[in-house]
Amino acid sequence: MHMRRKKWARPELADCPWYTAGPEEFRGRWRTRFPHPERPLWLELGCGKGVSTAQLCRANPEVNFIAMDISPDVLGDARRNIAAAWAPEPVENIILVRRDITRIREYFSPEDAVGRICINFCNPWPRRRHHKRRLTHPRQLLQYRDFLTADGEVWFKTDDDELFAHSLRYFAESGFEAVWLTEDLHASGFAPNYVSEHEAMFSARGIPIKFGIFRVIPGWVCAHEEEEDETADGAPADSLLSGGVRAGG
Residue 181 has pLDDT above 60, yes or no: yes
Helices in the chain by DSSP H: which ranges? 9-14, 51-59, 72-86, 138-147, 161-173, 185-188, 197-204
Return the higher-pLDDT residue of 135 and 247: 135
CATH class of 9-239: alpha beta
Note the pTM of the prediction, 2 decimals.
0.89
pLDDT-derived band of residue 222, with 50, 70 and 90 as boundaries? confident
Range 166-175 average pLDDT = 97
Sheet holding 94-98, edge to edge: 19-20, 94-98, 64-69, 41-45, 114-120, 148-158, 210-216, 176-182
- What residues does each domain of the chain span? 9-239
pLDDT-derived band of residue 5, with 50, 70 and 90 as boundaries? confident
pLDDT-derived band of residue 3, with 50, 70 and 90 as boundaries? low
Measuring CA to CA, which residue among 182, 163, 166, 162 is closest to residue 174? 166
Give the pLDDT confidence score for residue 2 in this predicted structure: 55
CA–CA separation, 64 and 112 (whole Å): 12
**Rg of the chain on CA atoms, in Å:** 18
Measuring CA to CA, which residue among 152, 140, 161 is closest to residue 226? 140
pLDDT-derived band of residue 4, with 50, 70 and 90 as boundaries? confident
Residue 236 has pLDDT above 90, yes or no: no
Please give the mean pLDDT across all residues of the chain: 90
Residue % of the chain over a pLDDT of 70: 88
DSSP string, 22-78: -GGGGTT-GGGGSS-TTS-EEEEES-TT-HHHHHHHHH-TTSEEEEEES-HHHHHHH
Residue % of the chain over a pLDDT of 90: 86
Residue 233 has pLDDT above 80, yes or no: no
Are the beta carbons of 162 and 126 closer than 8 angstroms? yes
Range 184-198 average pLDDT = 96
Return the higher-pLDDT residue of 235 and 166: 166
Measuring CA to CA, which residue among 130, 89, 145, 121 is closest to residue 196? 121
